[in-house]
Structure 1
Amino acid sequence: MAKILCVLYDDPIDGMPRSYPRDDLPKLDRYPDGTTLPTPSAIDFRPGDLLGCVSGELGLRKYLESNGHTLVVTSDKDGPDSQFERELVDADVVISQPFWPAYLTAERIAKAKNLKLALTAGIGSDHVDLQAAIDRGITVAEVTYCNSISVSEHVVMMILSLVRNYLPSHDWVRKGGWNIADCAARSYDVEGMHVGTVAAGRIGSAVLRRLKPFDMHLHYFDRYRLPEDVERELGVTWHDSVEDMIGMCDVVTINCPLHPETENLFDASMIARMKRGAYLVNTARGKIVDRDAVVAALESGQLAGYAGDVWFPQPASRDHPWRTMPHEGMTPHISGTSLSAQARYAAGTREILECFFEGRPIRDEYLIVQGGHLAGTGAHSYSAGDATGGSEEAALFKTH
């Protein structure tokens, strides 16, 4: 029997909800590309409930314990004295979410002698040292596509919020004002603007589809070019480098995975290549941009606004400069953990566990690392190596 160590974010401050705003979720038959939603043998939760926090347990306890396994759930994940560090030494499976990641560094993997599966309840496995997992023969899997549309909706919301100056305008209402001139002084229409996505995979292409009705000019960079019929349908222009694209764009949205090739991609030099007064939206990973370069660009006016829900490390310290920099639209990492998305990634997590315990193949699109190699989605989207360096700073959230 196996020990499953599951790291989830904290419960709501006032405790688990006794009721929810809606009684049900829309029924989806499949994802937009035709692939099927998660297909576990059963689920032990009500779709629409809060599953991603500690008490939600991803709806896994009944299934795991009825099969003789041990489930340990905690939010205490950072530092040498954390529960995660203590429990990791004999864990067979580690489950974590990108929103409150349990960073599986090479040092932690070396301590986890029994570890066989690192499972991301969501999308994005950069919190795992993929090179160390490759070297140890550990399987790394994630629930591909479970929250891609959720994130793309969040991107569109953030673009509109920045360009239309929504959040500062809302603040005037909360303060009792009617300061129309102050609100309008930084408000524009997106119509006619040029917007480009760094990567046009499931999330990036969904962003483009959702922005097309706004009559924006669409651009993308991706090392894998979209089919010609898709480019024609969207009226989108492909660029063979990020540098070539960003100089033309009023809005840039980052939708690529974090790996050694994309780490710190948007440094001061890259941001300087953007149009003055452009907007940058990042719901991919915080480490793809240079923290201090973003702050400096907002202060100088090189960037008119920055929004995102990804930070590095996560959680970000309370004195992180992105919390107080000008013209920001930051949120904690929530874009992919809507109640709708939670139902899908909880079901996908159970599907992967069922395959793992029953000796059945895990879906190819769920695989990141298997058999000592990048596999499935991992082979398409990642490069070998490690992007977890510096994650120990997450412990500062407790003190700073």
Structure 2
Amino acid sequence: MPSKRLSVVVTRRLPEAVETRLTELFDVRLRDDDTPMTRAELAAAMQDTDVLVPTVTDTIDAGLIGQAGERLRLIASFGAGVDHIDVATARSRGILVSNTPGVVTEDTADMTLALMLSVTRRIPEGLSTMQAGDWTGWAPTAFLGGRLGGRRLGILGMGRIGTAVARRARAFGMQIHYHNRRRLRPEAEAAVEATYWDSLDQMVARMDILSVNCPHTPSTFHLLNARRLKLMKPSAVIVNTSRGEVIDENALARMLKSGELAGAGLDVYEHGTDVNPDLRALPNVVLLPHMGSATLEGRIEMGEKVLLNVKTFADGHRPPDQVVPSML
């Protein structure tokens, strides 16, 4: 690597501590406002920088990578997911890709349980009643929900976050079931008393709550399609804090509206901010604006990983969180 400081472009506003440290170490261009770059702005940025630091709101596809200048050698994404980056095309151009795995695990698992409680205990309905000033007092049959204890929780994707969800759910007395590309080691299963299902169809048909914790890949797109959703019990609840594309959102909305499913807690959506209007109108649905990993501590830790990846690359070594196509 040359001795002069690396040129780094950051596409969104990051926590102040992270931006300050980046500025100290590299020749950085920061974003003035917290809006996503346009495609033209991304293309221009990729023309004359050594490192791009994008986020999940930036789609770095083959077309953009094809326009990248010869200087660009690292895409150090601020976030764990990399489905917004064409990793294979980047690799073919000699551009490394890194991410920030692990740091969002506990925060996202916390939010998953919060959504389960919100849906099953009808928390938003109680909140809106209080905010509207409509509460007339306690009643034995008012706002009746259901307890988590004793329910069967099916976890779709038993990676870091799925396992963290399982640990929390066990503390609530839930029965843990999971479907994964690969079965966990016996000791990992035993730690959360989890039952493995090789057949996703058979698992979803028996669960009371289904938690989506798998990444979005070509093989997981609409993994929960209309056919599979119809296998679920009418009393079942779906929670998704992973990627919206895993669920056929229109099919989910139809089933929730018709009473074929009891409820849903969603933090991510198939078409980004373009959320199915039926979902917005249903009282048995809790919608959040992609808040799963939104803690100050988590964002700073993500920034520290970006810093480490870029600094390691600047020193002539492989970034510790490099992503390669075979991992996806």
TM-score by length of 1: 0.74
1:218 aligns with 2:176: yes
User: Of the candidates 11, 24, 47, which is equivalent to residue 7 of structure 1?
Assistant: 11
1:102 aligns with 2:42: no
The change in CA–CA distance for 1:68 and 1:174 in structure 2 (over 3 A counts) is closer
1:293 aligns with 2:261: no
Runs of 5+ in structure 1 lacking a partner?
9-53, 383-400
- Measure, in 1, the Cα distance between the counterparts of 2:126 and 2:141: 5
After superposition, the C-alpha distances for 1:360-394 in whole angstroms (9 at most, x for unaligned) are: 2322xx2212xxx43xxxx2xx2xxxxxxxxxxxx
Instruction: Report if the CA contact (8 A) 1:164-1:188 is conserved.
Output: yes
Q: Which residue of 1 aligns with 2:155?
A: 197
User: Of the candidates 206, 223, 226, which is equivalent to residue 268 of structure 1?
Assistant: 226
Residue 174 of structure 1: how far off its partner (Å): 0.8
AA aligned opposite 1:291: E
Residue 183 of structure 1: how far off its partner (Å): 7.9
After superposition, the C-alpha distances for 1:33-63 in whole angstroms (9 at most, x for unaligned) are: xxxxxxxxxxxxxxxxxxxxx26356234x4
Instruction: Report if the CA contact (8 A) 1:142-1:367 is conserved.
Output: yes
% of aligned pairs identical? Answer: 26
Secondary structure, in 3 states, of the residue corresponding to 2:211?
strand
Runs of 5+ in structure 2 lacking a partner?
none
1:56 aligns with 2:60: no
Q: 5 Å matches for 1:71-150?
A: 71-73=29-31, 75-77=34-36, 79-81=38-40, 83-98=41-56, 101-113=57-69, 114-150=71-107
After superposition, the C-alpha distances for 1:183-213 in whole angstroms (9 at most, x for unaligned) are: 8455111121111100111100110000102
The change in CA–CA distance for 1:328 and 1:202 in structure 2 (over 3 A counts) is same
Q: Which residue of 1 aligns with 2:217?
A: 259
- Measure, in 1, the Cα distance between the counterparts of 2:294 and 2:309: 19
Q: 5 Å matches for 1:9-48?
A: none
Residue 246 of structure 1: how far off its partner (Å): 0.7
User: Of the candidates 202, 205, 217, which is equivalent to residue 244 of structure 1?
Assistant: 202
Instruction: Report if the CA contact (8 A) 2:105-2:160 is conserved.
Output: yes
Instruction: Report if the CA contact (8 A) 2:53-2:75 is conserved.
Output: yes
AA aligned opposite 2:116: I
The change in CA–CA distance for 1:4 and 1:325 in structure 2 (over 3 A counts) is farther
Q: Which residue of 2 aligns with 1:386?
A: none
- Measure, in 2, the Cα distance between the counterparts of 1:191 and 1:298: 23
Instruction: Report if the CA contact (8 A) 1:109-1:115 is conserved.
Output: no
The change in CA–CA distance for 1:319 and 1:193 in structure 2 (over 3 A counts) is closer
Secondary structure, in 3 states, of the residue corresponding to 2:245?
helix
Secondary structure, in 3 states, of the residue corresponding to 1:157?
helix
- Measure, in 1, the Cα distance between the counterparts of 2:244 and 2:54: 17
The change in CA–CA distance for 1:239 and 1:256 in structure 2 (over 3 A counts) is same
Residue 85 of structure 1: how far off its partner (Å): 4.0
Secondary structure, in 3 states, of the residue corresponding to 2:113?
helix
1:158 aligns with 2:110: no
Secondary structure, in 3 states, of the residue corresponding to 2:210?
strand
Q: Which residue of 1 aligns with 2:318?
A: 361
AA aligned opposite 2:240: N
Instruction: Report if the CA contact (8 A) 1:64-1:70 is conserved.
Output: yes
Compare relative contact order (CA 8 Å, sep 6+) and give the higher one, 1 or 2. 1
After superposition, the C-alpha distances for 1:102-161 in whole angstroms (9 at most, x for unaligned) are: 110111111112432222222111111223223323211111101111100110111111
**RMSD after superposition:** 2.3
